[in-house]
Amino acid sequence: MSSPELVRVWPAAGLRARAGDLELRWIDDDLLLALADVAARGIHDDDRMPFYVPWTRGTPEQVARSVVSYQWGVRPLMGPGRLRIELGVLVDGVPVGVQGAGGDEWPVLHRVETGSWLGRDFQGQGTGTRMRALMLELLFAGLGADEVTSGAFVDNPASAAVSRKVGYLDNGMTTLGREGRAVAHRNFLMTRDRWLAVRSANLALLDSPVELEGVEAVRAVLDPE
C-alpha cells in the first residue's frame, strides 16, 4: 500500500475502491511485479488478440516487461484536466488483472474511456463483470464522470457481453487496424443517466457495500478550480 507521504505528493497513489473480496487500487511496484507475472502466465489463446496494441505477443518475459514499461509510462500522465488511472484488481488479496481509465479535458467533458485485462487463470468466475461494475462506481460516484466509454473487437464477444451486462449501451462500430489487418470494433457508452438507471443492479452484482478512498484528493488534481 502507498505511504501517506507518497499520497500527499501524488494523490492518485491513494485511490482505492473495494466491495467485499474485490479491490481496485493504485499499482505500486510490488503489485506491478505481481501483475506482470499474471500477464506472463497468459491472458488469451495464441490465435486471439483482444487488444489494439498486441502487447501480449512474445515470451513470458517479454509480456511481463510490456506490463511494467506501460505502467511506468502511464503514471506521470495524470494531472490537471487529464485523468489517467491504472488500478490493480485483487480478489481476496490476490492480483488478477488491471482496470484502467483515461480522458483529456476533464473539467469540460468529464468523459473517460476504460480498458481492462484479466489473467486467464481467473477468467470465467464473474470477476470481469464485478470489476467493471466497481470501476463504474468509482468513476461516476467517486470522481464525477458524466460519460464512460468502452469497446471490443467483434471477435471478442466475451468483453462485449460484460459491457452489456453492467449496462453499457451499444454506440456504433468503427474499423481499427490490428496486427496489419482491418478489424471491426464495437463501441459502448455509459452516460450518467444510464448509470443511475442500472446502478442498483450493478451494486447487487457486487453484493457488498462499496468503499471508495482517495477520490476527493484526485478530484482536486483533475479540476483544481
Residue ranges covered by each domain of the chain: 4-222
pLDDT tens for each residue of 118-140: 999 999 999 999 999 999 999 99
**Percent of the chain at pLDDT exceeding 90:** 93
Domain 4-222, CATH homologous superfamily name and number: Gcn5-related N-acetyltransferase (GNAT) (3.40.630.30)
- Taking the C-alpha atoms of residue 225 and residue 214, their distance in angstroms, rounded to an integer, is 18
CA atoms within 13 A on the CB side of 84: 14
The reported pLDDT for the residue numbered 171 is 98
- Taking the C-alpha atoms of residue 98 and residue 47, their distance in angstroms, rounded to an integer, is 22
| Residues 6 or more apart whose Cβ sits within 8 Å of residue 95 | 31, 34, 35, 38, 88, 89
- Taking the C-alpha atoms of residue 24 and residue 17, their distance in angstroms, rounded to an integer, is 5
Q: Are 127 and 118 in contact (CB under 8 A)?
A: yes
Q: Are 199 and 221 in contact (CB under 8 A)?
A: no
Query: 147-153 and 111-118 as β-strands: parallel, antiparallel, unpaired?
Result: parallel
Model pTM score: 0.96
Q: How many residues does the chain have?
A: 225
User: In degrees rounded to 5, what are phi and psi of residue 100?
Assistant: -125, 165
pLDDT tens for each residue of 64-114: 999 999 999 999 999 999 999 999 999 999 999 999 999 999 999 999 999
